[in-house]
Amino acid sequence: MTDHSLVATGLSAGYDGKEILKGLDLTIPTGRITVIVGANACGKSTFLRTLSRLLVPTKGHVLLDGRSIHRTPARQLARTLGLLPQAPIAPEGITVADLVSRGRHPHKSLFSRWTRKDDEAVDGALTATRTFDLAERPVDELSGGQRQRVWIAMALAQETEILLLDEPTTFLDINHQIEVLDLLTDLNRERGTTVVMVLHDLNLAARYADVLVAMAGGRVHAFGTPEEVLTEGMVHDVFGLESRIVEDPLSGRPMMLPIGRHRMAGIGR
């Protein structure tokens, strides 16, 4: 199990002088799956980027084990905190094994050689993501779901105890979305990795999250278990949408059904 703590305090950040995060406070629960949801432009991606050092905050800090991540040497940080960005780029013709090996970058210095330990990490990552059979295939030839698994494998090979993912299921078919989320859950259960991700789909978020964070206006609007956070009030406040929350018969988690103007026979008019 991991024992690293990741904390955001009074975090403000943005682009072009426009502030998107406005004094956000959040402690990431260690060893759990935290899912961030919110309307477009509420700052969820900005938060994840700031959390992973891609964006320098204008105010406040991101503290990893009590130390500001912007003062931690990049390579050292990258051994604890991994990130899978929304649109990673695979160089043309690169093979799966090669791409996943790139995850070992923070563990290598200028003259250090490739060791058995590196091979073990890559092997472990390929096995965990069930991409070993693809090892020699070029990444460009893979399907969307396979490719996303390969990118997750790269982040796994990095062997970080915290993994941040920015909308890992976008552009994927529903079956591949489930596949990726199951994989991340396996990872959390088997390795104890702390997973933090932004998701678009509220119902998938509620199903897979240990802790659900709803963001609005650059701040944390609600924080807690899916049952605590996914309520009709929250959906109304954050998304401006009337809804009904029911129990997902498969997982027992809350499930949101949106209320529109049409075809609402079930609730009477």
Read off the tokens for 78.
């990258």
Measured CA to CA, the distance from residue 253 to residue 23 in angstroms comes to 31
| Smallest distance from another protein to CB 103, Å | 7
User: From residue 230, how far is each of 112, 176, 184 by CA, in Å?
Assistant: 49, 24, 21
Torsion-angle region of residue 239: left (phi > 0), alpha (psi -120 to 50) or beta? alpha
3 state DSSP class of 54: coil
Give residues in contact with another protein (CB under 8 A).
Answer: 15-16, 49, 52-54, 74-79, 81-95, 97-99, 101-103, 105-106, 108, 110, 114, 116, 119-120, 122-124, 126-127, 132, 135-136, 138, 140, 154-155, 158, 190
Measured CA to CA, the distance from residue 69 to residue 56 in angstroms comes to 10
Nearest to another protein of 7, 94 (CB atom): 94
Read off the tokens for 133.
């059979």
| Smallest distance from another protein to CB 177, Å | 21
| Smallest distance from another protein to CB 255, Å | 33
| Smallest distance from another protein to CB 15, Å | 5
Crossing angle for the helix pair 174-191 and 116-128, to the nearest 10 degrees: 130
Nearest to another protein of 93, 144 (CB atom): 93
Strands annotated E in the chain? 6-15, 18-28, 33-38, 59-64, 67-68, 81-84, 162-166, 194-198, 211-216, 219-224, 243-247, 254-258
Nearest to another protein of 13, 222 (CB atom): 13
Nearest to another protein of 37, 55 (CB atom): 55
| Smallest distance from another protein to CB 124, Å | 6
Measured CA to CA, the distance from residue 241 to residue 124 in angstroms comes to 43
Residue count of the chain, please give it.
269
| Smallest distance from another protein to CB 142, Å | 15
| Smallest distance from another protein to CB 262, Å | 26
Nearest to another protein of 187, 229 (CB atom): 187
AA letter at 17? G
Nearest to another protein of 170, 225 (CB atom): 170
Q: How far apart are the first and last CA of the chain?
A: 52
Nearest to another protein of 90, 255 (CB atom): 90
